[in-house]
Amino acid sequence: MSAAVVACISIAYPVHTLAANPAGLSLASVSAVIVPFGVNQPIYSKHADIQMPIASLTKLMTALVVMQSGQSLDERLTLVPYRDNSGKNTYSRLRSGAQISRRNLLHMALMSSENMATYVLAHYYPGGVDAFVSRMNATAQSLGMFKTRFVDPSGLSPSNVSSANDLVKLASATYQHSEIRRLSTIGQADMHFVNPSHALSYTNTNPLVRNPNWQVHLSKTGYIEEAGRCLLMVANIKGKLTTLVFLDSHGLRTPIGDAGRVRRWLETGESGAVPDSALVYQRERLKRLSVI
């Protein structure tokens, strides 16, 4: 990557007490922002205003709308077939006709990114799925997320778009709900259904919530081909709550690697290098986005 591009993406903001020199941080994600929680000014920003697909990070807004609806989390809902026009793989282990609580559907959506669970949550919203998506967009506008648009509650559609900076606002809003924080950071859970009675085991898609070296307080991953690998976290780093947003990474564990680079950077001032393949991927994606 050229020196000019590096200069463009490593923007030196006024340094918070948590921060190291932005020049010492290299990330594999195409877009990223690091913000001390509750602070408006990022300590690192990389193409953070670009509008791009966000995949299942969408489910944080889904969770926020569910919580704001006031609907009972203990109400048992009957699973309905997932009607999706995205063309993506919508396979689900959930059985239409079985029943489970709204809380557990929210848990599956946040922890393991279960797409059918989000559809069921939206289906039982007053007015149904269309009204639910309208509320998602209205909530985004109310939060000042002006580069954000939703067309479905799961994130399977590449038309669900946002920016890293907008997603910091979403992180702040969802963090206010202790149940969203709790459900998004449980490492593994068994879900119990009735009619028929059966159980399914689910694992968190973010391995850092199961890593004893990390203190993760809010988490969501996402992936579709158009969005790449995405990760949003609020984590305790050096005793400070910090929001980390990584959009469009190449490779299953690349956002996890970027999270490690950020922590290393904050602890030592240097993050270490990113793989050459990630730099090639970034250049291609930025060309497609007409950034370079």
Which residues make up each annotated binding site? 220
Please give the structure tokens belonging to residue 90: 């919508």
* Residue 88 annotated among the catalytic residues of the structure: no
- Which phi and psi (to 5°) does residue 185 adopt? -120, 5
As beta bridge partners, residue 190 has: 201
Helices (H) and strands (E) in the chain, counts: 9, 11
Q: Quote the CA–CA distance of 269 and 238 in Å, as a whole number.
A: 13
Active-site entry in 26, 31, 59, 162? 59
**Cα–chain center distance at 254:** 14
Active-site entry in 29, 45, 56, 162? 56
Please give the structure tokens belonging to residue 191: 């879900």
- CB distance 220 to 112 below 8 Å: no
- CB distance 48 to 164 below 8 Å: yes
Q: Between vectors from CA 195 to CA 194 and to CA 201, what angle results, nearest 5°?
A: 40
Q: Quote the CA–CA distance of 20 and 239 in Å, as a whole number.
A: 15
Would you list which residues are annotated within the binding site for substrate? Answer: 220
Q: What's the Cα-to-Cα distance from 6 to each of 1, 12, 16, 25, 187, rounded to whole Å? A: 7, 12, 21, 10, 36
- Which phi and psi (to 5°) does residue 264 adopt? -60, -40
- CB distance 221 to 230 below 8 Å: yes
Question: Rg (Cα) of the chain, in Å, rounded?
Answer: 19
Q: Quote the CA–CA distance of 126 and 135 in Å, as a whole number.
A: 10
**Of the candidates 89, 87, 109, which has an alpha carbon nearest to the alpha carbon of residue 100?**
109
Active-site entry in 31, 113, 162, 249? 113
* Residue 59 annotated among the catalytic residues of the structure: yes
* Residue 56 annotated among the catalytic residues of the structure: yes
Q: Quote the CA–CA distance of 11 and 58 in Å, as a whole number.
A: 27
Task: Give me the active site residues, please.
Answer: 56, 59, 113
